[in-house]
Copies of this chain bind each other. A is one copy, B any other.
Amino acid sequence: MSAVRVGIVGLGNVGSGTLRLLHGNAGQIASKLGFPLEVSAVCSRGVLASPPEAVSLHPAASRTANWKELVNSPDVDLVAELVGGTGVARKIVESAIDAGKPVITANKELMAEHGATILARARKRGAWVGLEASVAGGIPVLTALREGIAGDGIDTLIGILNGTSNYILTEIERTGAAFESVLRAAQDLGYAEADPSADIDGYDARSKLAILAALAFGVEVAPRQIPVEGIRRIRTIDFAYAGRLGHTIRLLATARQEPEGLRLAVRPSLVGVNTVLSGVIGSYNALWVHGQGGDTFYYGKGAGPAPTGVAVVSDLMAAARDLKTSGSQSAPPFGHVSLKPHAPVPGGTEVHQFYLRFRVRDRPGILASLTAALADQGVSVEAVLQEPHFDREDLPFVTTLEPTTRQALDSALDAMRGSDFLVDEPLAMPLEPTLMTS
């Protein structure tokens, strides 16, 4: 059978990784599909002047700096958008759809912000959109949710979806170094951006959670509807205290189907050291899923040219197969023929055990004052932990709280605010209830 012809827009790391895989695995891809995938065109701003090395693996591909030319070329059957961002990338994706061409994207920001609109347009035009590469890089979590466990009634997702923040947290855990120095080292190594906000403030994980929620629960979630806390305030001492509680700290993206509705959040949390999530170290990503069929867990590299390239190529293969079978459609990209709007449940009503870390100027009566503020809101202290520490002007200690609502806790924190013995705002993190143990 004749080849299906692929056009690739965006030749950075992921684009180059995709080109290398399409070259290196060409034989295997053809034996899986029954026909070859051929790169017929590549596009990037600099491809004419200084093409990336991987372009030379596909000498027959035409080169252009004009994405419109590529998208509308009669020699391109499928388009991969590997540009990123929500500006030009959106135009590329929509133009491909309008041209009736399936389009593959690695763009979590675009799909989280405008996915539902884009997919409605694609559906109308009969063009499929592949987005496996947009979440958790090389781990096929979207395929798992959309196909592999489509028949499950999922009630809980817990993900570690941002490799940079997981790298930083687990480096602090491993080395005991301070947040700032680990971040700087990660930036020097190229693991973190010069402006690390998207990663360490949780926005990247939040976009990915919005996409996962669409697949698992059939809802259209705007990322801004998801409460988010990042990891900037985590200190080395928090790992010591968490360790004394048999826990460690991870930035978790959680989705829970509760009686009131679907509750979504991204925030640093305590996870038991004997759970599979505590075993996720460095830049690995993971997703734990619970439903009527029990629990499943997916683990792998969340980013990088080769892992993300695998996701792009796998989606290209699915789209190519669809084209060959008279243009029929695979499962809808978000797993549901249409999405319901997400109605966020009121914040703060869910019940958690909390870890609450204070930094104080030591003097008599502090504990009495703090626990009184908590008691006023009906919040009980479970335990008080204090590691040996010598700076009496900045003394950290931790209380763990009996299960309470975030609301009650926040009221108590409000009442404490302004106490002259507090060096800064107390840090509150929920303890994740028991997960599948490893």
Contacts and interface: CB of A to CB of B under 8 A. Distances in A.
A299 interface: yes
A153 B292 contact: no
Nearest to A286: B297
A291 interface: yes
Interface string A324-343: 01101111100111100000
A132 B148 CA distance: 8
A85 interface: no
Given A291-B310, A294-B304, A153 B25 contact: yes
A296 B31 CA distance: 23
Contact of A24 (B33, B143, B153, B312): B153
A150 B218 contact: no
* Number of identical protomers: 2
A312 B149 CA distance: 9
A236 interface: no
Contacts of A218: 28, 31-32
Given A32-B218, A279-B438, A316-B151, A325 B336 contact: no
A59 interface: no
Nearest to A18: B151
A116 to B, nearest CB: 14
A315 B148 CA distance: 8
A256 interface: no
Contact of A149 (B24, B304, B314, B336): B314
Contacts of A139: 296
Contact of A151 (B149, B281, B294, B313): B313
Contact of A300 (B150, B296, B304, B437): B296
A276 interface: yes
A153 B28 contact: yes
A151 B328 contact: no
A66 B183 CA distance: 67
A268 interface: no
B151 A317 contact: yes
A276 B292 contact: no
Contacts of A294: 138, 300-301, 304, 306-307
Nearest to A300: B296
B331 A328 contact: no
A415 interface: no
A298 interface: yes
B147 A147 contact: yes
Interface string A396-427: 00000000000000000000000000000000
A208 interface: no
Contacts of A316: 151
A191 to B, nearest CB: 15
A152 interface: yes
Interface string A123-159: 0000000001000001110111001111111000000
A81 B318 CA distance: 27
Contact of A298 (B147, B293, B298, B330): B298
A25 B296 contact: no
Contacts of A299: 276, 296-299, 436
Contact of A310 (B29, B151, B276, B336): B151
B317 A25 contact: no
5 contacts: A25-B152, A29-B150, A143-B148, A148-B311, A296-B299
The 7 A-B residue pairs with the shortest CB-CB distance, nearest first, are: A140-B148, A151-B313, A293-B310, A279-B438, A296-B300, A143-B148, A325-B328
Given A28-B153, A281-B438, 13 more contacts: A21-B153, A25-B292, A34-B337, A138-B293, A143-B143, A144-B144, A149-B314, A150-B313, A152-B314, A276-B299, A296-B299, A296-B300, A325-B329
